[in-house]
Structure 1
Amino acid sequence: MGDGGVDYDNEVVYYCEEIDFDTVSGAIFILIFIFSVIGNIILACVLFIYEKMKNVTNLFILNLACSDLVFTFTLPFWAVYYLHHWVFGDFVCKFVTAANFLGLYSSIILLTAMTVDRFITVVLHNWPGSQLKRQRCAIAGCAAAWVISIGASVSDAVKVQVETYWDNRSYCEATSDSSDVNLGYYLQVSLLFFLPFAIIVFCYSAILKTVLQASNRKRYRPVVVMFCIIAAFFICWGPYNILIFIQAFYEPRGCNAKERIYIAHSIFRILAFSHCCMNPLLYMLSQKLRRHLLQLLRCQKAQRKSTDKGAGQNTSVIQNAAFIAQNSAVILELPSK
């Protein structure tokens, strides 16, 4: 595709043919929504039924599943948006944007809190001492994660509204491109993404060093699962956030450059949004959770068989009762001698 432009007062304005990647994005978002809802609900059920919620790790995992579900429920709106245009109005635009950022921010803060908890347990050994104190710290960390995430997501939602352009298509997007607004946004992204990333890298470097020096590595097997979960988050969300950060300082010139940025942005957005359905798969690396999942499925099958068996027994009892009643009626009708 060649570049074409018109020179207005020594400033070139390019008119480019746009590639329709939005249709592919919308279709993939629907699939992600289905897999994420099923996976995270099953994970939450397994935790509630078979695991002790006083366990700190399970508490973090449950909050992460809730965070993923909050993010997941925004996907149908974005799917319709990319397949058609924004048809839900201004309030839903702000609400969905807030929920979208709430899921993102709460995930990264919860992952950071979980990493710090692992660091304290593995590297510093049993500080702050008792299990009760550790549990209270975890609850406080989860509550702080949601409060901070809600505040940050609301500030993002205030900046968006529905705009209708010349083609009668409505768009849910930020209303201001001023440098102050952009600076505030990128400062927020830095504090809520790159800073937690630095904390997590530091903590897991110390954790891996301790694990490699330990004689009994099986004891630290859950650390490997947590490491995979955190690595998956940054593999999914890292490229998308880095590209957004780069776009703040780089303005593409020409149609080819704009096309490459657009394709990269679309692919990285799909990768980032797909993260919400990956955590349940990664949690299945844990043998205990896999065993609980099989128990849950077997329990459902057993209940179904028990129900069918009970229904059959009830039918037999009813038939026997009817037969006995019929014989009794015949006996009563016999003439007495």
Structure 2
Amino acid sequence: MNLTESWKTMVNETSSVNDGSYTYEDYGDEQLILLCDEVEGLEEVTAGCFLVIFLLSVTGNGLLLVALCRYEDLRRVTNLFILNLLTSDLLFTLTLPFWAVYHLSHWMFGDLACKLLTGAYFTGLYSSMMLLTSMTVYRCVIVVASRWTAVPRRRLRYAWATCTASWVVSLAASLSDVIYSQVQEEENGTRIFTCEVSPGTMDEELGYYLQVSLLFVLPLVIIILCYSAILRTVLVTATRRRHRTVLVVFCIVVAFFVCWAPYNLIVFVMSVYTPVDCGVKQRLHVVYVVCRIVAYAHCFLNPALYMLSHSFRRHLWSLLCCLMGEERGG
């Protein structure tokens, strides 16, 4: 699912295009719409990338989830956060095959599936950002206010409370996406259906993009402030083990924001800028598609980053040996 399906639909519209040129259709008093040729092969590439990301993410996150539940103590705060992050990534990933089919054909799963999958998509996205922020704040408190580490029960209560709050807020934030998502029927030579997030009025659209921006920019600001405080402390006082834990969390956070920053930037540009030339519109759409694929790739990058932890590497190897042994025994 993407935030600008309606923008993409205008790029793909070809009913009034002659020989690759572009034109404007007259819609009376409504705004003139620039109609352009579709970029050839882009939908197939997008669908293929979605399926590859799905396979890699389900494999990596699934194995780590099993290893975490089987070998690690889930009463440890960091493990609890990682458990929720893995669940969030899997929730997001499980929607990708449906969007892949959508890109190859049209929306064939009905209105209810459109709303449910849109809700799962945005809940997974928002919860990842909030859980990463909560984990960073926790790590900051542990490193900077070291006296707090003397009360493990309080730390565990904090982790449960923040994880629960992250899921509740993410579900609440995704409600607007669920409400605005709908299946629309279009007649472009053939009858097709689209699943789009389409805010109604201009104020609703502004609020929609503001929400998306705040749920990305605000966590980023909090994380930058936290790691500034962590770096001032950890380089002087932390043990080697704490260094490693902070490094793993830091790499996970950086990977998430590096993957998602270009996507959020291009979505913002596309929401405020209307191209008047087909070449510009098509190039902008290609950039958008590339940024979206990079953003989604964070789902299978996380398992690789967890491998920075020696214990996770050991647990994953034990799990793989166990699975291979069961297969040989069968």
TM-score band, normalised by shorter chain: 0.7 to 0.9
Whether contact under 8 Å (1:239, 1:268) holds in the other structure is yes
Is 2:209 aligned against 1:189? no
| Deviation larger for 252-261 or 215-224 | 215-224
Distance 1:281 1:184 in 2: 36
**Relative to structure 1, is the Cα distance of residues 128 and 183 closer, same or farther in structure 2, using a 3 angstrom cutoff?**
farther
Distance 1:106 1:225 in 2: 19
CA displacement, residues 85-123 of structure 1 (integer Å, 9 cap, x when unaligned): 100111100111000000000000000000000000011
Is 2:97 aligned against 1:67? no
Whether contact under 8 Å (1:3, 1:256) holds in the other structure is no
Letter in 2 for 1:206: A
Q: Report the alpha carbon displacement of residue 32 of structure 1 after superposing the two structures with TM.
A: 0.9
Letter in 1 for 2:264: N
Percent identity over the alignment is 48
Distance 1:239 1:198 in 2: 16
Question: Any idea what SS the aligned residue of 1:253 has?
Answer: coil
Whether contact under 8 Å (1:33, 1:73) holds in the other structure is yes
Distance 2:25 2:70 in 1: 67
Q: Give 2:36's aligned residue.
A: 16
Is 2:97 aligned against 1:81? no
Whether contact under 8 Å (2:131, 2:163) holds in the other structure is yes
User: What is the root-mean-square deviation in Å for CA atoms of aligned residues?
Assistant: 2.2
Question: Any idea what SS the aligned residue of 2:148 has?
Answer: coil
Is 2:254 aligned against 1:231? yes
Is 2:52 aligned against 1:31? yes
CA displacement, residues 110-143 of structure 1 (integer Å, 9 cap, x when unaligned): 0000000000001121427400000000000000
Which among 197, 204, 224 is matched to residue 201 of structure 1? 224
Letter in 1 for 2:78: T
Q: Give 2:237's aligned residue.
A: 214
Q: Report the alpha carbon displacement of residue 284 of structure 1 after superposing the two structures with TM.
A: 0.7
Whether contact under 8 Å (1:112, 1:196) holds in the other structure is yes
Letter in 1 for 2:205: N
Alignment of 1:114-263 (within 5 A): 114-127=135-148, 129-167=150-188, 168-214=191-237, 216-263=239-286
Whether contact under 8 Å (2:199, 2:208) holds in the other structure is no
Structure 2 length-normalised TM: 0.87
Letter in 2 for 1:94: K
Q: Report the alpha carbon displacement of residue 300 of structure 1 after superposing the two structures with TM.
A: 3.3
**Relative to structure 1, is the Cα distance of residues 7 and 111 closer, same or farther in structure 2, using a 3 angstrom cutoff?**
closer
Q: Give 2:295's aligned residue.
A: 272
| Deviation larger for 60-69 or 243-252 | 243-252
**Relative to structure 1, is the Cα distance of residues 295 and 246 closer, same or farther in structure 2, using a 3 angstrom cutoff?**
same
| Deviation larger for 146-155 or 291-300 | 291-300
Is 2:316 aligned against 1:293? yes
**Relative to structure 1, is the Cα distance of residues 7 and 25 closer, same or farther in structure 2, using a 3 angstrom cutoff?**
closer
Q: Report the alpha carbon displacement of residue 17 of structure 1 after superposing the two structures with TM.
A: 1.7
Distance 1:3 1:198 in 2: 45
Q: Report the alpha carbon displacement of residue 297 of structure 1 after superposing the two structures with TM.
A: 2.0
Whether contact under 8 Å (1:40, 1:68) holds in the other structure is yes
Q: Give 1:57's aligned residue.
A: 78
Is 2:66 aligned against 1:45? yes
| Deviation larger for 170-179 or 258-267 | 170-179
Letter in 2 for 1:14: L
Number of residue-to-residue matches in the alignment: 307
Q: Report the alpha carbon displacement of residue 261 of structure 1 after superposing the two structures with TM.
A: 1.1
Whether contact under 8 Å (2:20, 2:37) holds in the other structure is no
Distance 1:7 1:27 in 2: 33
Q: Give 2:10's aligned residue.
A: none
Letter in 2 for 1:17: D
Q: Report the alpha carbon displacement of residue 302 of structure 1 after superposing the two structures with TM.
A: 4.3
Distance 1:242 1:71 in 2: 20
Structure 1 length-normalised TM: 0.85
Distance 1:62 1:215 in 2: 25
CA displacement, residues 128-174 of structure 1 (integer Å, 9 cap, x when unaligned): 74000000000000000010111111221110101111121111013
Alignment of 1:98-117 (within 5 A): 98-117=119-138
Letter in 1 for 2:278: C
Question: Any idea what SS the aligned residue of 1:145 has?
Answer: helix
| Deviation larger for 181-190 or 29-38 | 181-190
Is 2:95 aligned against 1:95? no
CA displacement, residues 53-78 of structure 1 (integer Å, 9 cap, x when unaligned): 00000000000000011111100110
Distance 1:24 1:275 in 2: 18
**Relative to structure 1, is the Cα distance of residues 153 and 14 closer, same or farther in structure 2, using a 3 angstrom cutoff?**
closer
Distance 1:86 1:150 in 2: 24
Distance 1:215 1:42 in 2: 31
Letter in 1 for 2:140: F
